[in-house]
Amino acid sequence: MKLLGISCYYHDSAACLVDDGRIVAAAQEERFSRKKHDDRFPVHAVRYCLAEGGVVGGAGELAGVVFYDKPLLKFHRILENYFAVAPRGLRSAAMALPLWLREKLWIPPRIHESLAECGVEGTPKIYFAEHHESHAASAFYPSPFEEAAILTLDGVGEWATTTIGVGEGERIRLLEAIEYPHSLGLLYSALTYFTGFKVNSGEYKLMGLAPYGKPVYADLIRRELIDVRDDGSFRLNLEYFGFRDGLEMTNDKFAKLFGGPARKPESRITRREMDLARSIQTVTEEVVLKLARQARDRTGKRHLCLAGGVALNCVANGILLREKIFDDIWIQPAAGDAGGALGAPLALWHNAWGKPRRVTPGRDSMRAALLGPEIPDAEAKAWLDSIGAPYEELPPAEWAKRIARLLAEENVVGLCQGRMEFGPRALGSRSILGDPRSPKMQSVMNLKIKYRESFRPFAPSVLEEKVAEYFALDRPSPYMLLVAPVLEKRRLPLAGDEEAADDLLAVVNRPRSDVPAITHVDYSARIQTVNREENPRYWAVIKEFENLTGCGLVTNTSFNVRGEPIVCTPEDAYRCFMRTEMDYLVVGSLLLDKKRQPQREEKGDWRQEFQLD
């Protein structure tokens, strides 16, 4: 009983295969197409999922295909919005409506066409889930909880932007909803745009920038932009926004409110942007906490599951955990639209068809989010041999030890091994690793490897059993979705002017703990705990690094440069390796030394390939 889930046409298109309620494979289209946040129909991801699940023949092998939202309902909302603001919004409507009429409304024929391209004959039945039902299903069904409250927050689905629901056994119910145009996700995106970052891509930059500022605009945001009630419900003041009737998120009135026009992308980040980031982050955290309290009161459940793009705000997640509104929380690692491809078939299987759910207390069913393709050594060797790239094959007993030794010598190592991660975080399969003890590692990896803004923090990957030795966190965080403080005993005193400094680079380069490369300006870290059973090879690397250095964590960032999707294949990994100042590359069991590689000629500036976010 195999079900194929699909999400597409907005951002982060993806596909997922579920077999008897078990997640078999899931991947985002961007990893194959090399277009970040690719919103097109996920032909490559569908092909991969079907192959991984052994669906190679007739459509009878599929019990159905489930789309993650209801296009007709979404189209109705878009039409109603344009009618409500007419004659304003004519230009936006002229751009959007033809695309809907030409492509986005024709999901069934596009699915059948895609399956035919993948060699699947026949026409499997197609089902549609509501957008926030897909989010809720992706949050609850893979969670380790028998029952839980469910909170979903994003920009907008069909109509809903926020929902509170409940999951019990195989059933989920959505109990409350806030509808478009009132959206916490769109408010956060508006500030993302205004501070010079890309909407639906740069929101995590705003979160990373926030600790450098002060919440001086928080009262102004509360007074003018969003009215929040005690139960977490809210309304936006639409006079300040342009997303309903224009091509930009904010308007001139918004700019006047904050003392001038939006920051131009790539221009200098000023004190205003730092303070705006801190202010909207503060307001977002307040709304999330109020919604969580309402969810607890409405459902009476001890646990909470989260999904939707706002659930990727790991700072808010960490605060929610520490507030102890719930005994525990679980966040879908692919919380954005990609995760809808996973939630939709689970919603059909359990909620619509009533199939029983298997729960393992204390362990989710996401398989460590390692749901993408794996690279066989034979395939990697064949490709490297074809371009004359020298490599060394590491014996299994030496593999983790050699990588750990290179890291201890302050080399930067690209690691491409095992099944690719599903979701926006690299979790040790497609990661770039460094020594967290090095005070220069953050700026080196930002400016010479990732080619991105210097203020961006890096995450620690820490042995699950050692997390409490470094951070104020008493439970696993396998998906890098919780921020927690570095322990007091590991901190170094601040210079005293961090919150007032206008020179970001100078602030970034100040060591703040005995693991400075992963310690953010506010002594926090976005933590990934690594479990020996679920991620054994990556765990072994960190363990060997601890044996050499006494430090049970490494610096981890995604294996890509700025604007590029995370690497998928040996070719992607090698190209990224050669374009940056990475020192070593590991592909499966193969180790490549940058100094031994042949010269690689690039035509033009390769950075123009990727849109900056």
Omega before 215 cis (within 30°)?
no
Give the count of beta carbons closer than 10 Å to the beta carbon of residue 130.
22
Q: How far, in Å, CA of 331 to CA of 484, rounded?
A: 15
How long a stretch of residues is the chain? 613
Strand pairing class (524-530; 459-463): parallel
- The DSSP annotation for 20-38 comes to TTEEEEEEETHHHH--TT-
Helix axes 184-194, 271-299, angle to 10 degrees: 170
Catalytic residue among 11, 132, 303, 350: 11
Identify the three-state secondary structure at position 1.
coil
CB 201 within 8 A of CB 37: yes
Burial class (CB in 10 A: 0-12, 13-18, 19+), 395: exposed
Structure tokens of 305? Answer: 């599951």
Residue 11 catalytic? yes
CB 459 within 8 A of CB 450: no
Identify the three-state secondary structure at position 325.
coil
Burial class (CB in 10 A: 0-12, 13-18, 19+), 42: buried
Q: Which residues pair with 161 in a beta bridge?
A: none
Structure tokens of 141? Answer: 């069904």
**Side-chain half-sphere CA neighbours of 549 within 13 A:** 24
Sign, CA dihedral 81-86-88-93, equals: positive
Q: How far, in Å, CA of 189 to CA of 172, rounded?
A: 29
**Nearest 5 degrees, angle CA 419-CA 537-CA 429?**
35
Distance of CA 389 to the CA centre of its chain: 32
Omega before 87 cis (within 30°)?
yes
**Side-chain half-sphere CA neighbours of 77 within 13 A:** 15
Structure tokens of 612? Answer: 């900056």
Give which of 419, 529, 552 is closest to 480, Cα–Cα.
Answer: 529
**Nearest 5 degrees, angle CA 495-CA 499-CA 501?**
75
Residues classed as catalytic: 11
